[in-house]
């Protein structure tokens, strides 16, 4: 049922006029008389025709105004104002529309801000998880490679007639060098993680006042997330590359043991090995430097003659 309708006003059975009424409240909004001296026209038939036409035109104007307002506001013919769903009234539909659009934009902006804040939190967590994963990977590989080196040295020394005491004397130096290399890599990972975390506050949305600006912020967050995930994969690839490279540092140590044992004729075997290993220890590795600035680190390579392995 339409909110506004035309109603015939009668006294008894006699038509005295036409009315446009609010069907919800029963209130008469406007009325046109067909009575002599009150209606438009000399003759009754003309007055009835004019009153009916005026009522229809008025009703049509109300319907047109409401059609223009749409769902934005409701036109109130009693006040001549447009009332929006939040209860506020405006003199024109244009003003009501612009205010409604601004409210909608602000609501969307607030919702997007909340989503962006949540993404910033996810980014921080992702960076922290990536840093932890890289540290665990470096520690795991370092331990495995140190054990592999010591096993290779044991075979090289004992297999060529050396003594267990010689291996025991060399083990602390091997472990110390490996620990320094691992510390170097862990320090690099910590620095990289800290640098990435420092970038997060720069993405703060306090200055973003438009959807376009928030969209740019969200894109930057997504880019940072991808970089954080890529850094973990890059670290894994770097360690794997070090393993596959078989740098000469390890080769020098193992080779030193064999050379010293083969040439220590008439002298203390341990002393000859120690001198050769000292030379190997003090020689810089030839592997390329990693993004952490550590070079080819002990605990991240494969020994010559071994089958190698892939990081898991």
Whether residue 266 is predicted with pLDDT greater than 60 in this model: the reply is no
> What is the pLDDT at residue 203?
67
> What is the pLDDT at residue 251?
56
Q: Report residue 173: phi and psi, to 5°.
A: -65, -40
Percent of the chain with pLDDT over 70: 73
Closest to 280 (Cα-Cα) out of 302, 309, 247, 312: 247
More confident residue, 271 or 23: 23
Q: What share of the chain is helix, strand, coil (3-state, %, to 5)?
A: 65, 10, 25
Question: Model confidence over 99-140: pLDDT tens digits?
Answer: 888 888 888 888 877 887 888 888 888 888 888 888 888 888
More confident residue, 24 or 253: 24
Question: Model confidence over 55-99: pLDDT tens digits?
Answer: 999 999 999 999 998 888 999 998 899 999 888 999 999 999 998
Measured in Å, how far apart are the chain's first and last C-alpha atoms? Answer: 72
8 A C-beta contact, residue 292 and residue 232: no
Which tokens belong to 83? Answer: 């009332």
- Find the mean pLDDT for residues 207-236: 75
- Find the mean pLDDT for residues 205-232: 74
Lowest mean pLDDT among 20-34, 57-71, 201-215, 264-278: 264-278
Q: Report d(CA 122, CA 45) in Å as an integer.
A: 78
8 A C-beta contact, residue 91 and residue 79: no
- Find the mean pLDDT for residues 44-53: 94
Q: Report d(CA 235, CA 198) in Å as an integer.
A: 20
> What is the pLDDT at residue 9?
94
> What is the pLDDT at residue 81?
93
Whole-prediction pTM: 0.51
Whether residue 12 is predicted with pLDDT greater than 80 in this model: the reply is yes
> What is the pLDDT at residue 303?
36
Percent of the chain with pLDDT over 90: 23
């Amino acid at each position: 049922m339409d909110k506004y309708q035309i109603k015939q006003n009668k006294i008894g059975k006699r038509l005295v006029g036409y009315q446009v009424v609010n069907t919800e409240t029963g209130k008469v909004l406007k009325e046109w008389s067909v009575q002599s001296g009150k209606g438009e026209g000399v003759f009754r038939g003309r007055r009835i025709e004019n009153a009916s036409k005026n009522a229809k035109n008025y009703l049509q104007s109300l319907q047109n105004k409401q059609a223009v307002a749409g769902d934005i506001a409701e036109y109130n013919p009693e006040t001549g104002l447009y009332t929006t769903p939040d209860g506020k009234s405006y003199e024109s539909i244009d003003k009501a529309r612009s205010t409604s659009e601004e409210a909608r934009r602000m609501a969307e902006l607030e919702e997007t801000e909340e989503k962006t804040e949540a993404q910033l939190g996810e980014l921080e967590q992702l960076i922290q998880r990536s840093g932890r994963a890289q540290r665990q990977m470096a520690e795991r590989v370092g331990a495995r490679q140190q054990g592999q080196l010591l096993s290779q040295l044991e075979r090289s020394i004992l297999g060529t007639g050396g003594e267990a005491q010689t291996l025991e004397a060399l083990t602390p130096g091997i472990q110390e060098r490996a620990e320094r290399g691992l510390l170097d890599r862990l320090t690099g990972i910590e620095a990289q993680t800290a640098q990435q975390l420092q970038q997060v506050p720069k993405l703060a949305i306090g200055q973003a006042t438009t959807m376009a600006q928030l969209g740019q912020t969200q894109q930057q967050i997504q880019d940072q997330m991808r970089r954080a995930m890529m850094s973990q994969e890059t670290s894994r690839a770097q360690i794997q590359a070090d393993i596959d490279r078989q740098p000469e540092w390890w080769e020098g140590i193992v080779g030193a043991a064999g050379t010293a044992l083969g040439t220590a004729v008439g002298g203390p075997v341990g002393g000859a090995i120690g001198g050769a290993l000292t030379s190997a220890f003090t020689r810089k590795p030839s592997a390329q430097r990693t993004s952490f600035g550590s070079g080819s680190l002990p605990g991240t390579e494969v020994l010559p003659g071994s089958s190698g392995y892939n990081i898991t």
